[in-house]
Structure 1
Amino acid sequence: MQEQFINLTLENIGTEHLCCAIADKKHQLGVEVKKEWLQARIKEGHVFRKLNQKGKVFIEYAPIETAWVPVEAANYIYIYCLWVSGSFKGKGYGKDLLQYCINEAKDKKKSGVCIISSKKKMPFLADKKFMEKQGFQVVDRIGPEYELLALSFDGSSPRFNENAKKQRSESQELTVYYGLQCPYIPNCIEQITTYCDANGVKINTIKVDTFEKAKNVPCVFNNWAVFHNGEFKTVHLLNEGYLKKMIM
């Protein structure tokens, strides 16, 4: 089945689609932003592997030493996203993609593979039950919901950065930390800032545009994090409708 997949490279990234935003025109600006971000990351060992069809079936991961995430580990692989959607579910694609990552980690003598998940299933995070079936275990937590899962090859364990465990913001304004990796983010930022400007809601958007910023965000973070009244609220991407529900 492996011949059905393709990895993005510096040679093909200009012509290949990003399956996470394959059919939605409003996210095309985000696609270009992500491709620019990926071009720099591929040189660091970042992998974006997808089904060679028009569908949302892919895995994205990187060495923890270059991964834009507030996780500490030695010699691990960090998985940003593993996504299989729609009619592609139930065909073994997710397991195949994950196994490819695990095999690469073993071939490169890594200590293990890790991913952010949650106690209960949440959008934009890994499915804990699926990962546990593949041998992953909870190795760290932030608050009652967010968990770090790992498949360790040598008994070592990754951890969330201490700064990430703060889950607090000094600002009382609606505050959004956002990265450049997800193609949905530029449109989300446009929607919520337009709404806030029109309705007198103060908003503070913080672009996480360097590796150092990503490693030191004051919360769990996988490209997006929202605070309101100083409290961490969610990693769920916000559009206008979701924002209204959160701040009302």
Structure 2
Amino acid sequence: MSEEFKNITIDNIETEHLCCAIADKKHQCGVGVKKQWLKERIPEGHVFRKLDAKGKVFIEYAPLESAWIPVQGDNFLYIYCLWVSGSFKGKGYASALLEYCINDAKAQGKSGVCVLSSKKKKPYLTDKKFMLKYGFEVADSINDDYELLALSFDGNKPSFTESVRQMSVSSKDLTIYYGMQCPFIPNCLEQIKNYCSENGIPVRLIAVDTLEKAKNVPCIFNNWAVFYNGKFETVSLMNEGSLKKSLGL
């Protein structure tokens, strides 16, 4: 099955699609932003591997030390995203992509692989049940809900950074921490800014634009994190509709 996949590289990034935003015109503005982000990450060992087809089938991972998430540990790979959708489900693609990542970790002499998940399946997070089949175990947890899963080859385990355990901010305003790894984010930000401006809703948009900031956000974070009334709400991306529905704004 390996011949059906390809990795995004510096040489092919301008001609290859990025899967998740392949057919959605309103998110095309974010594709260029994501490609620029990838150009800076690929030399660090960041991997974006996808099915060589017009579909949402890919895995994205990086060395934990350079992964833009508040997780710490020695010599692990961190999976940002593993996504297989639509008619591509049930064909073994998710297994093939995960196995590639695991084998890559072993070939590099890594201590293991880790990923953000949750007890109950949540949007934008990897399915815990699927990962458990491959030997992943809970290495750390927050609020008895979000979990850091790890497949350790040598007994070592990663953990959330101490800043994550705050899960709160001092401001009562709608507060969103965001990165630019996901091509959906620019459009989501635009919708939120417009809606909040039109309705007089105070909003704080905090760019997580360095590795140091990403390692020290005050909550669970995987490109996006939302607070309201000082309390952490979700890592799920929000547009105008989901903002009104989830937070009652």
Instruction: Report the TM range for the smaller structure's normalisation.
Output: over 0.9
CA distance, structure 1, for counterparts of residue 62 and residue 146 of structure 2: 21
Q: Shift in Å at residue 144 of structure 1?
A: 2.1
SS at structure 2 position matched to 1:21 = coil
SS at structure 2 position matched to 1:43 = helix
| Partner residue in 2 for 1:98 | 98
SS at structure 2 position matched to 1:20 = coil
CA distance, structure 2, for counterparts of residue 136 and residue 89 of structure 1: 21
| Partner residue in 2 for 1:51 | 51
1:123-162 equivalences under 5 Å are 123-162=123-162
1:50-199 equivalences under 5 Å are 50-199=50-199
CA distance, structure 2, for counterparts of residue 247 and residue 23 of structure 1: 28
Query: What amino acid maps onto 1:177 in structure 2?
Result: Y
| Partner residue in 2 for 1:227 | 227
Identity of aligned residues (%): 67
CA distance, structure 2, for counterparts of residue 247 and residue 151 of structure 1: 35
| Partner residue in 2 for 1:6 | 6
Give the structure-1-normalised TM-score: 0.99
SS at structure 2 position matched to 1:180 = coil
SS at structure 2 position matched to 1:103 = helix
CA distance, structure 1, for counterparts of residue 221 and residue 212 of structure 2: 13
Query: What amino acid maps onto 1:102 in structure 2?
Result: I
SS at structure 2 position matched to 1:139 = strand
SS at structure 2 position matched to 1:186 = helix
Query: What amino acid maps onto 2:60 in structure 1?
Result: E
Q: Shift in Å at residue 48 of structure 1?
A: 0.1
Give the structure-2-normalised TM-score: 0.99
SS at structure 1 position matched to 2:44 = coil
Give the gaps of 5 or more residues in structure 2. Answer: none
Give the gaps of 5 or more residues in structure 1. Answer: none
SS at structure 2 position matched to 1:69 = coil
CA distance, structure 2, for counterparts of residue 196 and residue 234 of structure 1: 18
Q: Shift in Å at residue 165 of structure 1?
A: 1.1
CA distance, structure 1, for counterparts of residue 193 and residue 142 of structure 2: 28
CA distance, structure 2, for counterparts of residue 65 and residue 136 of structure 1: 20
Residues 203-246 of structure 1, C-alpha deviations (whole Å, 9 max, x = no match): 00001111111000000000000000000000011011111122
CA distance, structure 1, for counterparts of residue 167 and residue 103 of structure 2: 34
Query: What amino acid maps onto 1:183 in structure 2?
Result: P
SS at structure 1 position matched to 2:78 = strand
CA distance, structure 1, for counterparts of residue 40 and residue 192 of structure 2: 28
SS at structure 2 position matched to 1:19 = coil
Query: What amino acid maps onto 2:177 in structure 1?
Result: Y
Q: Shift in Å at residue 170 of structure 1?
A: 1.2
Query: What amino acid maps onto 1:148 in structure 2?
Result: L
Residues 60-93 of structure 1, C-alpha deviations (whole Å, 9 max, x = no match): 0000111000000000000000000000000000
| Partner residue in 1 for 2:205 | 205
CA distance, structure 1, for counterparts of residue 2 and residue 247 of structure 2: 46
Runs of 4+ deviating beyond 6 Å: none
Structural RMSD (CA): 0.5
Q: Shift in Å at residue 183 of structure 1?
A: 0.3
Q: Does 1:243 align with 2:248?
A: no
Q: Shift in Å at residue 145 of structure 1?
A: 1.1
Q: Shift in Å at residue 247 of structure 1?
A: 2.6
CA distance, structure 1, for counterparts of residue 165 and residue 108 of structure 2: 30
